[in-house]
């Protein structure tokens, strides 16, 4: 197996890179991939090895294979079910195929693996077999392992036909057993007639020591103490029994020796065909993973990504961040798929608090990762380009480093991806610089985006609330539509900035457990999650409206509004008086 594993890892290293933990977590890639369920241990291992591929031709071929499996799965359901059933029974060969002495358990595992592999390949049409490089070339080995099998095709026994001597030895053991049985019955019957002791279903009996005295001297009985007043009585088969027992033991030793010979011969056969078995492992892992990808595409209505030349726009139509969609559904909230055209390589995304900026970034990240992992994506359509690295800068983007604050960590992450400018990179930045002063944070963000804009290898999308940004040449700005004031007024009868409207809507129930889901539902109802092209001027973040809808104390929100209107210094000692 080790050679197969080496081959597979070498294959991966040529075309794929591991997905960075930061962006993997930000995009919730693993949560999405929970639904990707290969059926065999080999498919599961292939899933675990999936990485970021930036080879357009290889990805297009993979998408083509998924489409082919998808079509086959839809059109030939019975065959697909057969293949899936066989894959589900494939055992893991967790031993060295080139070992000199495999045991019966290993050989049974191998036999079952081969039978399942054969069934899987037999269910696939020729084109799909070619697609996974699946060739059945182990008939000889299956024949060897199936020699003398009983009714159960997937069982294993070192059969008489494996070695001419085994039949003879086993016949001898059978004869000895039969002789012992006859002798036992004869002795037991004799003892019963003579003594009344009944050994039916019992190897011994326990009798009163006083009563058993009458059996002392009976050479057909062996008597030993059980406790202070009783004895154990066993029938003795005598010299004939000893002779038969010794003969049986000798034959059993001979049988073990012959079986070891057979095992060594079979092990040599397995070792000689190890390459073929490893090829079958690879084919099964590919078929299993492709079938899993096709199942996922069918179940979740996924679309084939369209790959464009580097430098082209990224376009998403009705893209869904499935883990977020599921969470919304659990809370009884609607989910708005994302549609947008990211025409420029560098873009800034702004909009309301809770307006969906981070969700939009997550969606873009998830789709990009899935596409480059060779999977279809949850969208109506997705046009994109390929990157050698996908990076995320923001909360949770880096492992904590002793001594570094959250701002320090952001810079630490940013430094790494700026230093190496040789790769095609996608950089997703969520609220960069929010932990420092807004003026300095904005300056750093502008400078970083300008650098990305100057270097043709970078694509970047940054969400921010920072004001005073200047877009780099060729950069674009986008905005989440945000809070729909008109719809809110129409529904509630008062603007969201008016404390009464929210109080009325909350009725008289102020327990936080009930208010929060209701407030979330209200925000979702009136928040417009569409992403549109915009200028770079940051408008209101609807922070006060959101604060009010979420039930922040009205006095606090009113004071904040007065402060904004007065545009004077804030007096924390008396927030009501600027």
Partner 1 sequence: MRKRTALNRKRGAKYRDLQVSDVIDGLRGRVIFITGSAKNAGKTTFLNYALNCLRPAHGRSRTAFGGGASSRCRSVGPVGFLSVGVDGEPEDLVFGSPKPRVRAAAGDLLATTDRLLAASDAGCELLQVFPGTTALGRMVLARASREGFVELAGPENNSRLPELIEALQKKGAKTVLIDGAVDRVTQVSSGGAAGFVLVVRVDPRKLGSAQDLLRLQSALSRVEVRGGALPEDGADVEGALTQQKLSALPVALRVLRLEDPGKVFLSWREWREASRTRKFLFKQGCEFLGCCAVLFDVSREDFERGLAPEDLANVFYNPYEEPV
Q: Which residues bind partner 1 (CB under 8 A)?
A: 91-92, 103-105, 108-109, 112, 150, 152, 154-157, 170, 173-174, 177, 181, 185, 188-189, 192-193, 195-207, 211, 226-230, 252, 255
Torsions phi, psi of 412, nearest 5?
Answer: -60, -45
221-225 and 230-235 beta bridge pairing = antiparallel
> For residues 255 and 278, which CB has a smaller minimum distance to partner 1 in the complex?
255
> For residues 243 and 250, which CB has a smaller minimum distance to partner 1 in the complex?
250
| In the complex, minimum distance from the CB of residue 240 to partner 1, in angstroms, rounded to a whole number | 18
Counting other chains too, the contacts that 449-456 makes at CB distance below 8 Å and 24 or more residues apart are 449/346, 449/348, 449/475, 451/418, 452/345, 452/346, 452/427, 453/345, 453/346, 455/421, 456/311, 456/345
> For residues 162 and 350, which CB has a smaller minimum distance to partner 1 in the complex?
162
- Please enumerate in sequence order all residues whose Cβ is within 8 A of that of 127, keeping only pairs 6 or more positions apart, or say none: 68
Local structure of 5: helix, strand or coil: helix
| In the complex, minimum distance from the CB of residue 79 to partner 1, in angstroms, rounded to a whole number | 26
Q: CA-CA distance, 59 to 62, in Å (whole number)?
A: 5
| In the complex, minimum distance from the CB of residue 173 to partner 1, in angstroms, rounded to a whole number | 7
| In the complex, minimum distance from the CB of residue 197 to partner 1, in angstroms, rounded to a whole number | 5
> For residues 15 and 108, which CB has a smaller minimum distance to partner 1 in the complex?
108
> For residues 159 and 328, which CB has a smaller minimum distance to partner 1 in the complex?
159
Q: CA-CA distance, 520 to 522, in Å (whole number)?
A: 5
Number of Cβ atoms within 10 Å of the Cβ of 82: 16
| In the complex, minimum distance from the CB of residue 142 to partner 1, in angstroms, rounded to a whole number | 16
Name the strand (E) or helix (H) holding 442. helix 438-454
| In the complex, minimum distance from the CB of residue 220 to partner 1, in angstroms, rounded to a whole number | 15
- Please enumerate in sequence order all residues whose Cβ is within 8 A of that of 252, keeping only pairs 6 or more positions apart, or say none: 173
Beta strand spans in 458-548 (E): 458-463, 476-483, 527-534
| In the complex, minimum distance from the CB of residue 250 to partner 1, in angstroms, rounded to a whole number | 12
- For residue 491 the two structure tokens come to 């529904």
Q: How far is CA 345 from CA 376, 425, 451, 575, in A?
A: 23, 11, 12, 44
Q: CA-CA distance, 347 to 477, in Å (whole number)?
A: 5
> For residues 229 and 568, which CB has a smaller minimum distance to partner 1 in the complex?
229
| In the complex, minimum distance from the CB of residue 233 to partner 1, in angstroms, rounded to a whole number | 8
> For residues 71 and 202, which CB has a smaller minimum distance to partner 1 in the complex?
202
Q: CA-CA distance, 166 to 189, in Å (whole number)?
A: 34
> For residues 220 and 455, which CB has a smaller minimum distance to partner 1 in the complex?
220
- Please enumerate in sequence order all residues whose Cβ is within 8 A of that of 322, keeping only pairs 6 or more positions apart, or say none: 31, 32, 35, 300, 366, 378
> For residues 229 and 422, which CB has a smaller minimum distance to partner 1 in the complex?
229
């Amino acid at each position: 197996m080790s050679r197969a594993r080496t081959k597979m890892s070498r294959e991966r290293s040529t075309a794929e890179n591991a997905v960075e933990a930061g962006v993997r977590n930000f995009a919730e890639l693993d949560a999405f991939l929970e639904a990707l369920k290969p059926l065999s241990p080999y498919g599961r291992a292939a899933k675990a090895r999936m990485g970021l591929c930036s080879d357009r031709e290889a990805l297009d071929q993979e998408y083509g294979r998924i489409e082919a499996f998808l079509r086959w799965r839809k059109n030939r359901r019975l065959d697909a079910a057969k293949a899936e059933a066989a894959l589900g029974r494939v055992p893991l060969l967790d031993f060295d195929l080139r070992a000199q002495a495999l045991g019966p358990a290993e050989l049974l595992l191998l036999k079952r693996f081969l039978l399942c592999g054969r069934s899987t390949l037999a269910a696939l049409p020729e084109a799909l077999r070619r697609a996974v490089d699946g060739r059945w070339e182990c008939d000889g080995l299956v024949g060897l392992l199936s020699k003398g099998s009983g009714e159960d095709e997937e069982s294993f026994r070192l059969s008489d036909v494996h070695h001419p001597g085994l039949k003879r030895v086993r016949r001898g053991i059978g004869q000895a057993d039969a002789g012992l049985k006859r002798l036992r019955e004869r002795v037991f019957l004799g003892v019963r007639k003579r003594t009344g002791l009944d050994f039916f279903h019992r190897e011994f009996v326990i009798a009163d020591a006083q009563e058993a005295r009458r059996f002392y001297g009976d050479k057909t009985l062996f008597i030993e103490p059980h406790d202070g007043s009783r004895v154990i009585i066993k029938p003795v088969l005598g010299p004939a029994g000893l002779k038969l027992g010794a003969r049986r033991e000798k034959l059993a030793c001979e049988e073990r020796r012959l079986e070891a010979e057979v095992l060594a011969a079979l092990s040599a056969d397995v070792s000689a065909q190890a390459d073929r078995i490893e090829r079958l492992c690879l084919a099964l892992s590919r078929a299993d993973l492709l079938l899993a990808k096709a199942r996922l595409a069918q179940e979740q209505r996924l679309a084939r990504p369209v790959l464009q030349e580097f430098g082209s726009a990224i376009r998403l139509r009705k893209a869904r961040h499935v883990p977020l969609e599921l969470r919304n559904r659990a809370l009884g909230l609607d989910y708005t798929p994302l549609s947008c055209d990211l025409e420029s390589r560098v873009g800034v995304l702004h909009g309301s608090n809770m307006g969906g900026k981070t969700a939009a970034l997550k969606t873009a990240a998830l789709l990009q990762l899935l596409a480059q992992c060779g999977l279809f994506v949850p969208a109506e359509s997705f046009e994109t380009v390929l990157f050698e690295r996908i990076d995320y800068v923001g909360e949770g983007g880096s492992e904590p480093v002793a001594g570094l604050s959250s701002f320090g960590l952001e810079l630490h992450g940013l430094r790494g991806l700026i230093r190496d400018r040789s790769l095609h990179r996608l950089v997703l930045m969520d609220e960069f610089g929010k932990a420092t002063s807004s003026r300095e944070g904005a300056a750093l963000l502008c400078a970083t985006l300008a650098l990305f804009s100057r270097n043709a290898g970078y694509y970047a999308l940054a969400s921010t609330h920072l004001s005073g940004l200047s877009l780099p040449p060729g950069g674009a700005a986008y905005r989440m539509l945000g809070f729909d004031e008109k719809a809110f007024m129409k529904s509630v009868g008062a603007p969201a900035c008016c404390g009464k409207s929210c109080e009325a809507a909350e009725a008289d129930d102020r327990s936080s457990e009930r208010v929060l889901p209701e407030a979330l539902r209200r925000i979702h109802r009136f928040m417009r999650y569409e992403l549109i092209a915009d200028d770079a001027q940051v408008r209101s973040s609807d922070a006060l409206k959101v604060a009010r809808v979420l039930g922040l104390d009205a006095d606090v929100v009113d004071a904040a509004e007065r402060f904004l209107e007065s545009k004077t210094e804030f007096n924390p000692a008396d927030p009501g008086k600027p």
